[in-house]
Each structure stands twice: as structure tokens, then as C-alpha cells.
Amino acid sequence: MAGIDLAYLVSTLPLLWEGMQVTLLLTVFGVVGGIALGTVLAVLRLSRTKPLALAAGAYVNFFRSLPLLLLVFWFYFLIPLWLGRPVGGYYSALISFILFEAAYFCEIIRSGIQSVRHGQIFAGLATGLTYRQTMRSIVLPQALRNMVPVLLTQGVNLFKSTSLVYVVGVRDFLTAADVIGTRDNHIIEMYCFAAVVYFVLCLAASISVNRLQRRYAL
Amino acid sequence: MRYNWNWAILVTEPYVYWILSGVLWTILVSIAGWILAFSLGSLVGIARTLRQPVVRAVAGAYVEVFRNVPLLVQIFLWYFVLPEILPPRAGTWLKRDLPHAEYWTAVVSLGTYTACRVAEQVRAGIQAIGRGQTYAGLATGLTSFQVYRHILLPVGYRIIVPALTSEFLNIFKNSSLALTIGVLELTSRTRQISEYTYQPIELFTAATVVYGLMTMAVMLAMRVVEARTRIPGMISVEAK
């Protein structure tokens, strides 16, 4: 390996950026969808109706026992069977990310809500606030502070996990680096560059999450 | 949805043997990876609690590097990049002469990746023990090594058993990534057979069930470990 050809790296940037956009989109949709579904699951898990709580718990345990990769393949093969036409790797990957991450987000949100002590609710109600007011101005602000850093960390994890779409041929950042590297016979530089980019982005993200956590910690 | 169900595919030769060998490879990769992760992770985790700033910085750098690069990228670096940047003889040995090169690469990448997570747990376990215990140990005349050996590690490991359980489970799930470099483990085998036979639902159901069973087996085993090693009156903690 003779040095790194900077001019070459620069020439690959436009294609890599296209890949990075796919990676970022998958991450954002995955996080938003995962949090939406995860919130529903968390509410169900905490509900007093036993069957609902059990069903949500079963969902969480089921998805947490599976490799994400297997789930991606499930939908990659299943959706075309279902719809009768291929939809490509992008949507099957996105669906599996949302379903999979929802299980993890559910646990984060649930423990966030449970981290607020019961006495706080009683105190709120005792001072004459309605249940809704207690939730809005006492429980949720504290719960959010506890869970936002963990939610963000999970988002960073998903950002790393999106590289799995490589197996179904979606042109995300890693796949773009792989395709370019194979095409130009520069596979070593491209893999190393991809690793450096992921490292810098994830490190920056986790440092900011830590700062945020320290500033808003209760 | 039109689909020709054929559950018998799961017990048809040769597919049944392929699935079984896939299960075996998943277990082999995971166990070997876990041994590496546990030993290396323990060393790094302990190093992060030592007093020497250089040792601490190196261990901290290890954790940050391995934690912030996706596992799939790490696997590619180990498999495709490492043989090229090593001296030619070592590189050729890795590429041509090492038997089951893809297996060992998978073990090393899973092991070193999981080690950084184990390290964080070990560190958290040691730091969860009050400073007073270390001072008490040193005051009674124990050396630093003896303090770790007889006080910090026996208690620290017991505290983090639940956290280690989830890392152990993660390594089983992450072992599926080994298919990208050609290890014929469970996920790889089920995908392969479903492409041959067009029976994806049966095969992925089987894989799902097997992963579920492995998860249960690990959890039961770790529950025994946890019960055996529990310190009466102590509550377990997890790293942040």
C-alpha cells in the first residue's frame, strides 16, 4: 500500500456522499419510526390491562432475541411474496430497522417513565393538579431528561447498524465505499476511509450526548 | 399471497445437515469470540481503572475505537485490509495458508469488538465498589495486585453478571454478520437454502426459533451462574 492518494479520495466524495445520505435517511426514519412504535409499546407494557402488557412484553423479548441481519432477510424475502412484486432492499431494511429498534426504544422509554418515583405523582395529585397536568408538568419532564441521552445513544447505534443493508445491496455509505473500491481497485483505501468517517461521526455524536447528559442531568 | 408451504423441507436431506452445521458454526464462532472478548475485555477494563495515566489512556482509546466503528466495517478491515498492510509473508499466510481463515477472522473481529463492551462493564463493576474497600485492602498491607485479585475482581464480576449476560447474547446475534465473509453459519445457511428451494418462510422461521432457543439457553445458563455467585444482600448494577 503506497501512501494514500488524496486526489483519488476527493474524486470519490460525491458518490460517497450519496451513500451517506441513504445512511442518514435510514437512521432518521428508523429512529423516528422506532420511537413512535416504541412509545406505543411502552405505554402498552405499562398498562394495567394484563393481556396488552403481556403482548407488548412478548414483542420486545421476541425481537431482542433475533439478529437484526436475520430480520432484514425475513423482510427482504417476505415482502415480495406478500405484495407479489419486489420492493428492493431499502424498504425491507427500513421496516426491519423500525420493528427491531422499537423493541429497544420501548425498553428505554419504559425505564424512563418508571424512573420517576410514584411519590411524585401522588404529590402532584395532592396539590390539586389533574392527572394530565401531573403527567405533563411533573412526570414527563423528568422522564424525558432521563431517557433522551439513552435514546440518542441508541440512535447512534442504529446509525452504525444501518451498514447491514450491505447484505441486501442498498447503496448506503459502506456499500458505496465497497462498490467504488472494487471498481477502482482501491478497496483498502475505501474501507479505511469508511472506518475513519464512521469513527469520527460516532465519536463526535457520543461526546455531544455525554455533554448533553451532564448539562441536563437531574 | 400464493405460497406453496412445505415444512418438510426442514428435514429433507441435505438441507437438514446444512442447517445443523450452520447452528454448529454459529455456536463455535460465538463461544470462541466470547472467550476472546471476555479475556481481552477484562484486561482492558481493569487497565481503565489503574492509576498509570498512559495505561488508562491506551485502554480508553481501545474502547473508543472499537465502539465507534460499525462491526461490519471492522470485519471487512480484519478480512480484506489486514492481510494487505501486513508484511508480505504474514499477509500471504493469512490469505492462503491459514485454515478456515474466515472463521478465525470472524472470531477475532467479534471478540475484539465485544471486548470493548465487556471492558466498559468490567470497569463499571470495579468502580461500583466503594473506594473504601481499596483503601482498607491497601491499609492491611495487601499489594495493588492482591487488592484486585482478592477484593475488586471477585466482587466486581459478580456485580456485572447480568450485563455480561446481555453481551454474551449480543455475540450470538452479531455472529450472523460473519456471513459477509463467507462463514456458513445459521443465517447464511438459511438464506442459501431459501434461495435454492424458494421456501424462505419455513427456513427463516426455523432460524428464528433456533436463535430464540439459543437465547433461552444462554439466559438459563447465566441465571445459574448468577445464582451461584450471588453475594447476599447486594443488588446488581449495569454500566451506563
The answer to whether the Cβ–Cβ distance between A70 and B187 falls below 8 Å is yes
Tell me the mean pLDDT in the region A47-64. Answer: 92
Check residue A3 and give its pLDDT: 60
pLDDT in tens, A74-126: 999 888 888 888 778 899 999 999 999 999 999 999 999 888 888 888 999 99
| Minimal C-alpha gap between A66 and chain B (Å) | 6
Q: How far apart are CA B200 and CA B193, in angstroms?
A: 8
The answer to whether the Cβ–Cβ distance between B208 and A188 falls below 8 Å is no
From first to last of its 240 residues, what are the pLDDT tens digits of chain B?
677 888 888 888 889 999 999 999 999 999 999 999 999 999 999 999 998 999 999 999 999 999 999 999 999 999 999 998 888 888 888 888 888 889 999 999 999 999 999 999 999 999 999 889 999 999 999 999 999 999 999 999 998 998 999 999 999 999 999 999 999 999 999 999 988 888 888 899 999 999 999 999 999 999 999 888 887 766 544 444
ipTM of the complex: 0.89
Q: Which CATH number is B7-229 given?
A: 1.10.3720.10
Q: How far apart are CA B159 and CA B233, in angstroms?
A: 12
Query: Pick from A68, A70, A195: which is nearest to B207 by CB?
Result: A70
Q: Can you tell me whether residue B136 is helix, strand or coil? A: helix
Range with the poorest average pLDDT among A131-140, A156-165, B147-156: A131-140
**Cβ atoms of B129 and B155 closer than 8 Å:** yes
For chain B, positions 86-145, list CB contacts with chain A under 8 A.
none
The answer to whether the Cβ–Cβ distance between A192 and B64 falls below 8 Å is no
Query: What CATH number does domain A6-216 carry, 3.20.20.120, 3.40.50.1970, 1.10.3720.10, 1.10.10.10?
Result: 1.10.3720.10
The answer to whether the Cβ–Cβ distance between B176 and A77 falls below 8 Å is no
Q: Looking at chain A, which residue has its C-alpha nearest residue B194?
A: A77
Give me the helix-helix angle, B161-174 and B101-128, nearest 10°: 160
Q: How far apart are CA A7 and CA B239, in angstroms?
A: 44
CA distances from B65 to A24, B58, B239 (A): 21, 11, 18
Query: Pick from B3, B68, B176: which is nearest to A198 by CB?
Result: B68
Query: Pick from A73, A164, A203: which is nearest to B191 by CB?
Result: A73
Which positions ≥6 away from A19 have C-beta within 8 Å?
A: A171, A172, A173, A174, A175, A176, A177
The answer to whether the Cβ–Cβ distance between A68 and B80 falls below 8 Å is no
Query: Pick from B69, B81, B191: which is nearest to A188 by CB?
Result: B81
Of all residues in chain A, the percent with pLDDT exceeding 90 is 63
**Cβ atoms of B178 and B75 closer than 8 Å:** yes
For chain B, positions 37-96, list CB contacts with chain A under 8 A.
64-65, 67-74, 76-77, 80-81, 84-85
> Which sequence spans correspond to the domains of chain A?
6-216
For the record, the C-alpha cell of A3 comes out as: 501512501
Interface size A-B, in CB pairs within 8 Å, comes to 103
The answer to whether the Cβ–Cβ distance between A73 and B174 falls below 8 Å is no
| Minimal C-alpha gap between A4 and chain B (Å) | 13
Supply angle C-alpha B87, B70, B54, rounded to 5: 65
| Minimal C-alpha gap between A181 and chain B (Å) | 12
Check residue B10 and give its pLDDT: 85
Check residue B234 and give its pLDDT: 63
Supply angle C-alpha A157, A158, A159, rounded to 5: 90
Residues of A in contact with B84 (CB under 8 A): 1, 188
Query: Pick from A70, A191, A202: which is nearest to B76 by CB?
Result: A191
Judge whether B238 is closer than 8 Å to chain A, CB to CB. no
Q: Looking at chain B, which residue has its C-alpha nearest residue A198?
A: B69
Q: How many CA atoms lie within 13 A of B31 on its CB side?
A: 8
